């Protein structure tokens, strides 16, 4: 039966799961936000909100092959980095980097942020990653990038003018000055950056000047936000953007992680989007608490979007939250071949291969359950929890057998196998807290994989340590994605359910 839908809670992270590098803008009473997507297609998820707390994904900015090329040679955690989303002169502008694709930085525009977005305009004169766009009073547009350097640009053509010049780059000796955003607020231009690296030392600093090019005076209270060397449940706070509400209030969106388990702590959901209030004191922003409970915010919250937990694949196109590895050609992923089913046609022969046909959704809850009804009669495939090609767990159906496969680094093993009757079978994955006793070596969670019997009972075939599907083990910039894959032939999926599980 379909799962019951529920209204979203007023809680941080405001966009949970692998949604890093948020950039936000406001048009009237509406807020729009975009995030990085790395090796997944479509690229750059775009969200809408009326209160900064409850967000609905309305599309993806790069949803056509002509906008986004991610070849099989593109490594995991390559691809689409750090968009900046802005609204200027009646249009939405989005600039972003396609890492290792040769083109570098690209710009797309739209009158409706839900799409369609334009074909990309490339900006070869913009060096580096994390590009930002800001317009001054006479319409001149400035592009500032990680490093931190700046160049004048015509965003409609991608043409740059002059040589990029270095600006203020944060605290002396701090690594990775990046994620710059430039704003005109009052009498000053403010340059917001991240520094310290995107791990536990991450932080946000700011400087101000009288012109877009500086010189910039650093805030005496820098970093204005960091959770380094604290026991706060949200860590790695950084890569932020500022936005002003229609009531004059100020807010910051930022990325952070929620490490769990013992030492050193493992985060498995990736870097998530959080919200914090901002006040101004003596011309400088003061960032408030990155609180997990946002129900006490000082204005009425919207009811929140209805959370979709089940997809019966009845639409001609996939919903915007579905993501695939590097591309999604119709000949390999379609809902039109077998009405009411998602058909995946294999290419790579396992999840170890960069061209495997995989379509999933981001894991957004520490404890969750995912299930799918798969018909493997024409091939081999199943349900997987993926971090990258070298770190994933899967339950795979082929003929009259299901088996659990674990890939951790250079090791790949069949953990368990069990015969099942011919025909469609329900496969399931559950993530949950580790059993007691807990200690300094306790992992973040347990990933259980199994099959559902005809009477609805779940038979667990394997319970695997979740730490091996964490960023602290695997490295990189992404988070877990749970989804369906085909490793041989044609595999059909009748429905997919995902739901949080109360802890």
Structure tokens that stand for 440 in this block? 């300094």
21 is catalytic: yes
Structure tokens that stand for 55 in this block? 């967000």
Please give the Cα distance from 470 to 391 (Å, whole number).
9
H or E stretch at 263: none
Spell out a b/e string for 73-91, using b for 16 or more CB atoms within 10 Å of the CB, else e.
ebebbbbbbbbbbbeeeee
Structure tokens that stand for 489 in this block? 């032939």
Please give the Cα distance from 392 to 491 (Å, whole number).
19
Please give the Cα distance from 474 to 266 (Å, whole number).
11
* DSSP state, residue 224: S
195 is catalytic: no
Structure tokens that stand for 99 in this block? 């890492």
Considering the candidates 63, 132, 178, 465, report the single residue annotated as catalytic: 178
Radius of gyration of the chain (CA): 23
Alpha helices by DSSP H, listed for 223-355, are: none
Q: Which residues contact 41 (CB under 8 A, 6 or more apart)?
A: 62, 68, 70, 323, 324, 325, 326, 327, 328
Instruction: Just list the catalytic residues.
Output: 21, 178
């Amino acid at each position: 039966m379909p799962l019951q839908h529920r209204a979203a809670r007023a809680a941080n992270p405001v966009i949970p799961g692998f949604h890093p590098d948020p950039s936000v803008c406001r048009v009237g009473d509406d807020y729009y936000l975009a995030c990085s997507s790395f090796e997944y297609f479509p690229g750059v998820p775009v969200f809408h909100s009326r209160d900064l707390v409850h967000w609905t994904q309305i599309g993806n900015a790069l949803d056509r092959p002509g906008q986004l090329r991610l070849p099989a040679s593109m490594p995991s955690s390559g691809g689409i980095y750090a968009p900046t989303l802005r609204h200027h002169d009646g249009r939405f502008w989005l600039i972003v980097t396609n890492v290792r694709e040769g083109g570098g930085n690209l710009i797309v525009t739209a009158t409706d942020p839900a799409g369609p977005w334009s074909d990309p305009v490339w900006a070869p004169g913009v060096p580096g990653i994390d590009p930002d766009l800001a317009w001054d009073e006479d319409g001149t547009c400035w592009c500032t990038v990680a490093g931190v350097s700046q160049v004048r640009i015509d965003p409609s053509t991608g043409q740059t003018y002059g040589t990029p010049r270095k600006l203020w780059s944060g605290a002396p000796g701090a690594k990775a000055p990046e994620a710059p955003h430039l704003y005109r607020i009052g009498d000053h231009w403010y340059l917001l950056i991240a520094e310290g690296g995107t791990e536990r030392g991450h932080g946000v600093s700011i400087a101000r000047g009288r012109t877009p090019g500086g010189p910039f005076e650093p805030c005496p209270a820098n970093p204005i936000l960091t959770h380094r060397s604290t026991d706060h449940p949200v860590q790695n706070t950084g890569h932020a953007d500022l936005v002003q509400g229609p009531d004059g209030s100020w807010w910051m969106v930022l990325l952070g992680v929620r490490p769990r388990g013992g030492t050193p702590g493992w985060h498995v959901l990736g870097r998530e989007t959080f919200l914090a209030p901002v006040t101004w004191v003596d011309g400088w922003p003061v960032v408030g608490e990155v609180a997990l409970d946002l129900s006490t915010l000082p204005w009425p919250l919207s009811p929140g979007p209805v959370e979709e937990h089940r997809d019966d694949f009845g639409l001609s196109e996939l919903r915007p939250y579905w993501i695939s590895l590097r591309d999604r050609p119709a000949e390999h992923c379609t809902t039109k071949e077998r009405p009411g089913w998602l058909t995946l046609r294999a290419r790579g022969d396992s999840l170890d291969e960069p061209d495997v046909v995989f379509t999933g959704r981001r894991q957004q809850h520490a404890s969750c359950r995912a299930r799918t009804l798969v018909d493997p009669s024409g091939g081999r495939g199943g349900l997987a929890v993926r971090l990258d090609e070298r770190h994933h767990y899967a339950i795979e159906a082929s003929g009259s057998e299901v088996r659990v496969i674990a890939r951790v680094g250079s090791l790949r093993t069949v953990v368990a196998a069990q015969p099942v009757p011919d025909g469609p079978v329900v496969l399931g994955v559950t993530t949950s807290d580790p059993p007691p006793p807990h200690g300094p070596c306790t992992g973040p969670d347990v990933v259980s994989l199994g099959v559902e019997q005809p009477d609805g009972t779940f038979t667990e075939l394997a319970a695997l340590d979740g730490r091996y599907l964490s960023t602290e083990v695997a490295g990189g910039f992404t988070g877990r994605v749970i989804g369906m894959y085909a490793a041989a032939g044609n595999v059909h999926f009748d429905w997919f359910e995902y739901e949080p599980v109360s802890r």
